[in-house]
Amino acid sequence: MTEEIRKGLVGVVADSTAISKVNPDTNSLLYRGYPVQDLASKKSFEEVAMLLWHGELPTQEQLDDFIKLERANRALDPAVKAAIDLLPKDAHPMDVARTAVSVIGARHDDAENSDPSVELRKAKELFAAFPAVVAYDQRRRRGMDVIEPRDDLDYAQNFLWMTFGEEPAEEVVDAFRVSMVLYAEHSFNASTFTARVITSTESDLHSAVTGAIGALKGNLHGGANEAVMHTFHDIGIDENESRESAAERAKAWMEAALAEKKKIMGFGHRVYKSGDSRVPSMKAALDRMIDYYGRHEILGLYDGLENAMTEAKNILPNLDYPAGPTYHLMGFDTEMFTPIFIASRITGWTAHIIEQRADNALIRPLSAYNGPDQREI
């Protein structure tokens, strides 16, 4: 029998899902039927999280209940803080995040209970608890202490408050909220598939999320938002430079990188070949941040790279491309960008964990053996 190998599972339909639909023909993305750009312009991240978990947008009463639960679970558990403090200050924030979720799971009263209502509660509690991990990690890297959450602030406001210790401007909160909505869910991407594989063995929710974090860390997936910023730094950021001059330098950088056959982070996508559905909304948010901070040289770098890539290869930006410089302008350390992605994707991952468990089959593909024939010792 000849076995067909689909390297990288390209084009393989592994299962069905009711959570999101990625349509590369129309460059569109639906969460439970709603276009993502409409959700990004009209809904809070809390509402989108509820939509992903429950399949419908919440009623006001359901939203109020969730907001109450979320605000009650925001503080950094001292045991989680102690575990983080055991790690070197310069440990990669994705390793810190992965460790923190593992500790949160091991300390959960209902860690081994996978009843759907318990899973949902665990998902919501983790959603609520995770921003404090990111905020504290950025602060400890800078030699600063924890800032306690404030329950008069919504999720996005409080995330920024706990990180920077200042009440964020409305424009910044809105751009951050948009990024959270856009990053929340994307069908069977590598990290979500990892979460589903782990769940398929009847393992627990926190193990599945911990594994998903490992998959997200790589440059070909979530790690690209950090890598995009390394590119910008490699080209050089000069606040006093004109947009035109920055664009010229970026173009030259791209031409040289492509001549060396480098992979350029933030461009290309396994599913979208003619544009990522989320880029227009995220680019608009980046443009607002560029205007807000008066940093038009960033736009020069952005356009210079994008134009040179389109001209040379017609490979288009993915969501990580506009998200990276947006987080930079907000003041996040470059290494914190992918943990921010986790905070958002916890929603999609946990929705998939619950969906996988509801109709489970162990995920176990075959391999074609190409080692030596049987031989004697």
Ligand X SMILES: O=C([O-])CC(=O)C(=O)O
Ligand Y SMILES: CC(=O)SCCNC(=O)CCNC(=O)[C@H](O)C(C)(C)COP(=O)(O)OP(=O)(O)OC[C@H]1O[C@@H](n2cnc3c(N)ncnc32)[C@H](O)[C@@H]1OP(=O)(O)O
**Interface residues toward ligand Y, by CB under 6 A:** 8, 219-222, 224, 263-270, 315, 318-320
CB of 156 to ligand X, least distance (A): 19
Binding partner of residue 265 among ligand Y, ligand X, none, CB under 5 to 8 Å per kind? Answer: ligand Y
Residue nearer to ligand Y on the CB measure, 107 or 262: 262
Helix (H, G, I), strand (E, B) or coil at 348: helix
CB of 346 to ligand X, least distance (A): 13
DSSP run (H or E) holding 171: helix 170-183
List contacts with ligand X (CB under 6 A).
186, 189, 221, 270-271, 318-319
CB neighbours of residue 168 within 10 Å = 21
Residue nearer to ligand X on the CB measure, 243 or 345: 345
Single out the residue of 101, 134, 103, 129 nearest to residue 208, CA to CA.
101
Q: Can you tell me the distance from the alpha carbon of 39 to that of 305, in angstroms, rounded to the nearest whole number? A: 29
Single out the residue of 352, 290, 359 nearest to residue 325, CA to CA.
290
CB of 186 to ligand X, least distance (A): 3
Residue nearer to ligand X on the CB measure, 40 or 67: 40
Single out the residue of 246, 327, 355 nearest to residue 15, CA to CA.
355
Single out the residue of 344, 127, 306, 325 nearest to residue 216, CA to CA.
344
Residue number, nearest CB to ligand X:
189
CB of 319 to ligand X, least distance (A): 6
Q: Can you tell me the distance from the alpha carbon of 241 to that of 296, in angstroms, rounded to the nearest whole number? A: 8
Which two three-digit tokens encode residue 350?
């946990």
Residue nearer to ligand X on the CB measure, 217 or 221: 221
Binding partner of residue 102 among ligand X, ligand Y, none, CB under 5 to 8 Å per kind? Answer: none
What is the helix, strand, coil percentage profile of the chain, to 5?
Answer: 60, 5, 35
Q: Which of 108, 137, 320, 352 is catalytic?
A: 320
Residue nearer to ligand X on the CB measure, 111 or 271: 271
Binding partner of residue 62 among ligand X, ligand Y, none, CB under 5 to 8 Å per kind? Answer: none
Respond yes or no: is residue 95 known to be catalytic. Answer: no
Q: Which of 108, 186, 269, 328 is catalytic?
A: 269
Residue nearer to ligand X on the CB measure, 126 or 224: 224
Binding partner of residue 210 among ligand Y, ligand X, none, CB under 5 to 8 Å per kind? Answer: none
CB of 180 to ligand Y, least distance (A): 14
Binding partner of residue 315 among ligand X, ligand Y, none, CB under 5 to 8 Å per kind? Answer: ligand Y
CB of 256 to ligand Y, least distance (A): 13
Helix (H, G, I), strand (E, B) or coil at 26: coil
Binding partner of residue 334 among ligand X, ligand Y, none, CB under 5 to 8 Å per kind? Answer: none
Single out the residue of 356, 23, 325 nearest to residue 175, CA to CA.
325
Long-range contacts of 209-214 (CB under 8 A, 24+ apart): 209/101, 209/105, 209/126, 209/346, 209/349, 209/350, 209/353, 210/98, 210/101, 210/102, 210/105, 212/345, 212/349, 213/94, 213/97, 213/98, 213/101, 213/342, 214/98
Respond yes or no: is residue 92 known to be catalytic. Answer: no
Catalytic residues: 269, 320
